[in-house]
Amino acid sequence: MEGSDGVFPRAAGILLAVSSLPSPYGIGSFGKMAKEWIDFLEQAGQKYWQLLPLGVTSWGDSPYMSFSAFAINPYYIDLDALCDQGLLEKREIAALDWGRRPDSTDYALLYRNREIVLSRAFSRVRHALETNADFTHFCKKNSAWLRDFCLFMAIKKLHGGASWLEWERNARLRDAAALEQHEKDLAEAVQYHAFAQFLAFTQWKDIKSYANSKNISIIGDMPIYVAIDSADVWANGDLFQLDENRMPTRVAGCPPDAFAPKGQLWGNPLYNWEKAAETGFAWWISRIKENGALYDVVRIDHFRGFESYYSIPYGDQDASNGEWAPGPALAFVNAVKGAAINSIGASAGVAIIAEDLGYRTPEVAALLAASGYPGMKVLQFAFDSRENSDYMPYTYPRNCVVYTGTHDNTTTLDWFASARREDVDLAKDFLGVDDPVGGVWGFIRAALSSVADLAVIPMQDYLCLGAEARMNAPSTLGGNWRWRMSPDVLDGGFAGGKVALAKKIRRLAEVNGRL
């Protein structure tokens, strides 16, 4: 992956969440369609598949609000593979409701039904797990996070799914005797969650190996923050801004601006960076290395938060009373580099992309330059007719990754329908296009033809889909993270109609020097 001036050689990739893959079981999975998708990427001349986080989704269904910074969502386990292993029967899966819309994920159904079938598979293998060498090795290898996560999930279910902040004091404060008793009483539930993680990691390893065999690298997304209701905060309270009762004191968000007069209240607990520095940022380094084992490249979300972050008093109803506080900055970057995690490719550590979007100060730019990590450019941000934008393609350095849009943007087709008319006119003039569909392909060509070493296009844009295919609308509750690529969305079927589109995408990569 090493390029002449940065992390990447000149190449192209596609952004598509695993959850968005076609599947008969309510959500995309690590199954047959994932391999067909990788075959499509190969045919289309793509070198990278970028994902959204694979974590266990919690309230709000966001992959950026997970119960663990390390665990994989059991929703992605391929149920057909469990049938092939004799752990499930097809009729047991077919008896459950997985939703009636192939283009949308119903998380409520998944929450109710996935555990039913996975528990049934677990019951058929439980007594053999202790002598299963692969399972034993997995548990030992991941012991630094797996035990806490499995116990956290078991105690959470005991409390009806309530946040750990609402548990009885002894469990909430991790009293040793209380945890020992819970671990004894909930031994079967704890082992179930370990088994589910074993399946998820094993299946994902197979998918990643298949992609790598096709010369396709995986870009994984690592959120900077973790959810308050997570095993990470429960088990590592000293690393977060909590009081003596382990309640948050400050939480994350964004300051007020023209788009959000009261700011954005994300609600994630903030890090105790002084304590993290005392440990040499050990938890962070472990986390990045674990992500580096899952993926070939790690995109760190909200990189500007390492320079400074917006801090809001816990309990506030909005972000208007927040303030900026200094992050670990260069000390963090140097610690990561000192642990052989750097920006020059997986052969020398973990390749990193820094998501440097948002409120980008000179200090953030200086930290990014010092890190050597490629930053991000988003074309939908380029055409603000009110100012000279540094997202215009002619302003890019080579060491960056360009996107038409991200998971937080609407699709480019919808951008042409919903953006300010002056901005749309500017884009049409710049791209030399007249109509919205032509504008989508104009955005794609502008990204691919730019000097950016890597260009990543959301699959929704290659399909020229509208607002119905938007993945996330920030600061809105409900309806997000649901879009799936229907089996028939590619001109007559994923297996049959993909050839023409793959040829078109490949030709664009070829003529722009990205094969």
Q: Which residues are catalytic?
A: 301, 355, 408
Contacts of 69 (CB under 8 A, 6+ apart): 55, 145, 222, 223, 226, 230, 232, 287
The helix/strand/coil state of 401 is strand
The helix/strand/coil state of 309 is strand
* DSSP annotation of 247: -
Number of continuous H segments (helices) and E segments (strands) in the chain? 19, 12
- What are the phi and psi torsion angles at 248 (to 5°)? -60, 145
Neighbour count for residue 242 (Cβ, 10 Å): 20
First vs last C-alpha separation in the chain: 13
- State how far the Cα of 255 lies from the Cα of 96, in Å rounded to an integer: 44
- What are the phi and psi torsion angles at 340 (to 5°)? 65, 30
Neighbour count for residue 227 (Cβ, 10 Å): 27
- What are the phi and psi torsion angles at 304 (to 5°)? -60, -20
Parallel, antiparallel, or unpaired for β 351-354 and 297-300?
parallel
Contacts of 429 (CB under 8 A, 6+ apart): none
- State how far the Cα of 32 lies from the Cα of 296, in Å rounded to an integer: 21
Residue type, 505: I
E strand spans, 447-499: 454-458
- State how far the Cα of 297 lies from the Cα of 1, in Å rounded to an integer: 9
CA 26 vs CA 13, 101, 102: distances in Å: 26, 8, 7
CA 119 vs CA 81, 104, 129, 188: distances in Å: 15, 25, 14, 10
Asked if 285 contacts 339 with a C-beta cutoff of 8 angstroms, the reply is yes
Parallel, antiparallel, or unpaired for β 323-326 and 264-269?
unpaired
- State how far the Cα of 420 lies from the Cα of 410, in Å rounded to an integer: 14
Strand ordering across the sheet containing 308-313 = 264-269, 250-254, 308-313, 323-326
Nearest to 289 by CA among 339, 239, 331: 339
Find where tokens 């994630």 sit: 268
